[in-house]
Amino acid sequence: MATIDIKSVEKSFGALKVLKSLDIHVQDGELLVLVGPSGCGKSTLLSMIAGLSDVSKGNLLIDGDDVTRSHPRDRDIAMVFQTYALYPTMTVRQNISFGLEMRRVPKAERTRAVEDVAALLQITHLLDRKPSQLSGGQRQRVAMGRALVRDPKVFLLDEPLSNLDAKLRVEMRTEIKKLHERLGKTMIYVTHDQIEAMTLATRIAVMKDGEIQQLDVPRVIYDEPANMFVASFIGSPE
Ligand code: ADP
Ligand code: MG
């Protein structure tokens, strides 16, 4: 169970204000897709939620607890990045297990957690391979396995499919939707791809220049865009 409350959150880099007082409530178990053009502040927002970047103003709450100033380790959030670096000298099994070792999880428990997540992501047959022996899609599954193995409350994905070719992107999109349905985890998924947003989302937040233009279920975003920007970005016939 995890809700996320983003309350009047702002982010500035020096004089540059990249997020302008955002208010978003993410419901327990929903897959919120954050969509908008490059540079609008999507990655910045996600890294603040993960605790990898400071909040300039406002508050962040996970399950009602204020985590605005807490360490990333204490947030129980996992994130997958657009460019994910697997450890090249480790096997897939070691890559997935590493975070658990750092947390001093006992070996038997680690082994079981790695096998469970590998089964979930259909990479059991790849556990003894090195990253260099994997395809792009398989590497992305391993990156997700590494994030999910410790069963985080919240799962954040920042354009996880943007480095894959078109065919694989469609396949992985379906996988991620299934994963969300199976786990029922609260997820925020960032993309600049409208089709990905429409097919994956419980709700879509459309962003432009550090502001939310509209936040609603895909059907409403598509049929009743709040303004010209949303209409043209999502590609509604209006
Ligand atoms: P998106 O993920 O939507 O493409 P980002 O969140 O990466 O956008 O960036 C939003 C804006 O913040 C951009 O104008 C970017 O140049 C700026 N920005 C991001 N990170 C930094 C940083 N560390 N220092 C200065 N400006 C930054
Ligand atoms: Mg980004």
Strands 57-62 vs 4-13: parallel, antiparallel or unpaired: antiparallel
Residue nearest to atom 22 of ligand 1 (CA): 13
**pLDDT tens track for 204-233:** 999 999 999 999 999 999 999 999 999 998
Would you say the CB of residue 210 lies under 6 angstroms from ligand 1? no
The CA-based angle 94-49-14, given to 5 degrees, is 115
Q: How far is the CA of 40 from the centre of ligand 1 (A)?
A: 7
**Ion ligand 2: protein residues whose beta carbon lies under 5 Å:** 43
Q: How far is the CA of 4 from the centre of ligand 1 (A)?
A: 22
**Global ipTM:** 0.98
**pLDDT tens track for 107-155:** 999 999 999 999 999 999 999 999 999 998 899 999 999 999 999 999 9
**Nearest atom within ligand 1 for CA of residue 53:** 23
Q: How far is the CA of 11 from the centre of ligand 1 (A)?
A: 10
Looking at the CA of 209, name the nearest ligand.
Answer: 1
Confidence of residue 236 (pLDDT cuts 50, 70, 90): low
The answer, as to whether pTM is greater than 0.90, is yes
Would you say the CB of residue 42 lies under 6 angstroms from ligand 1? yes
Q: How far apart are CA 24 and CA 40, in angstroms?
A: 16
Q: How many residues does the chain have?
A: 238
Question: What average pLDDT is seen over the chain?
Answer: 94
